[in-house]
Amino acid sequence: MKKLLLISSIALTSLSFTSSTYYDVYICDSTTAKKYHLKKDCRGLSNCKAEVKKITLTKAKELKRTLCGWED
Ligand SMILES: [Zn+2]
């Protein structure tokens, strides 16, 4: 019974961690773009010739995007 409690508390902790990383980021919808951006007016995005899309951070990581070097 004690073990079950421990497992459910771990599950709750990881759940809250997941929700805290669930926020929107911006990407340049180009095949050459490899980054994601926290701000829509980021200087890294101003070079984007394609469409700027708003997606979740989870999705950005699925697309193997890394955080843009211009972000603070
Ligand atoms: Zn950026």
Give the count of domains, the chain: 1
Residue type, 6: L
Considering only CA atoms, which of 60, 19, 25 is closest in space to residue 45?
Answer: 25
Q: How many angstroms separate the alpha carbon of residue 6 from the centre of ligand 1?
A: 40
How many other C-beta atoms can be found within 10 angstroms of the C-beta atom of residue 29? 12
Q: How many angstroms separate the alpha carbon of residue 30 from the centre of ligand 1?
A: 14
Residue 1 in domain: no
Q: How many angstroms separate the alpha carbon of residue 11 from the centre of ligand 1?
A: 33
Residue 11 in domain: no
Residue type, 19: S
The dihedral of CA 61, 20, 54, 48: what is its sign? negative
Residue 14 in domain: no
| Confidence class for position 3, pLDDT limits 50, 70, 90 | confident
Q: How many angstroms separate the alpha carbon of residue 24 from the centre of ligand 1?
A: 13
Query: For 4-62, what is each residue's pLDDT tens digit?
Result: 666 666 566 655 555 555 789 999 999 999 999 999 999 999 989 999 999 999 999 99
pTM, to two decimals: 0.68
Residue 72 in domain: yes
